Homo-oligomer: A and B are copies of this chain.
Amino acid sequence: MKDTRTDIVNLAEKLIRTRGYNGFSYKDISAPLNIKNAAVHYYFPTKCDLGLAVVNRNRNAFEIETRKWSKESPDVQLSRFMKIYEDSRAAKMVCFMGAFGSSYDSLPSELQGALTIAGAEIRLWLKQLLTKGLEENVFAFTENIECKADSIISALLASLILGKVTGQDILANVRNVINNTI
Describe A's contact surface by its main secondary structure: helix
Interface size, chain A (Cβ < 8 Å): 54
Number of copies of this kind of chain in the complex: 2
* Contact between chains at B155 and A173 (CB < 8 Å): no
In the complex, which residues 140-182 of chain A have their Cβ closer than 8 Å to any Cβ of chain B?
Answer: 142-144, 146-148, 150-151, 153-159, 161-162, 164-167, 170, 173-174, 176-178, 180-181
Contact yes or no, B115 A23, CB < 8 A: no
Assess the B143–A177 pair: CB atoms within 8 A: yes
For the complex, is A128 an interface residue (Cβ under 8 Å from B)? no
A19-B106, A103-B103, A147-B173 known; A97+B161 contact, CB < 8 A: yes
What separation, in Å, do the CA atoms of A151 and B82 have in the docked complex? 14
Residues of A within 8 A of B (CB): 18-24, 92, 94, 97-106, 115-116, 118-120, 123, 142-144, 146-148, 150-151, 153-159, 161-162, 164-167, 170, 173-174, 176-178, 180-181
Beyond A116-B167, A157-B161, 4 additional contacts (C-beta under 8 Å) are A115-B165, A116-B166, A143-B181, A144-B173
